[in-house]
């Protein structure tokens, strides 16, 4: 999630945590992690797409929301 210049990191982080997402600060925004159901509920879109809609409550603070699929772990065999 990329913040707009001057976007309120604490407000956005609190909004995400209220929706059961884990939040990690990044240089230009936040990384929000959670299961697919939590992402759907928070953003109203499928987490498989590259871009998710910015919720109306966050539009003054958030520039864009991008979904990053989880890495696949391979077990040796």
pLDDT tens string 8-33:
999 999 999 999 999 999 888 899 99
pLDDT at 50: 77
Is the separation of the CB atoms in 62 and 42 below 8 Å?
A: no
pLDDT class of 71 with cuts at 50, 70, 90: low
pTM above 0.85, yes or no: no
| Residues 23-70: tens digit of each pLDDT | 999 888 899 999 889 988 999 877 676 789 999 999 999 999 988 776
Angle at Cα 71 formed by Cα 69 and Cα 75, nearest 5°? 150
SS3 63: strand
d(CA 76, CA 58): 43
The domains of the chain are located at: 2-66
CB atoms within 10 A of CB 34: 17
**Structure letter (DSSP) for residue 27:** S
């Amino acid at each position: 999630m990329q913040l707009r210049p001057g976007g309120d990191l604490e407000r956005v982080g609190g909004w995400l945590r209220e929706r059961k997402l884990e939040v990690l600060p990044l240089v230009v925004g936040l990384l929000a992690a959670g299961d697919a159901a939590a992402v759907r509920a928070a953003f109203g879109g499928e987490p498989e797409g590259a871009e998710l809609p910015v919720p109306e409550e966050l539009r003054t603070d958030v520039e864009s929301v991008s979904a990053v699929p989880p890495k696949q772990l391979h077990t040796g065999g």
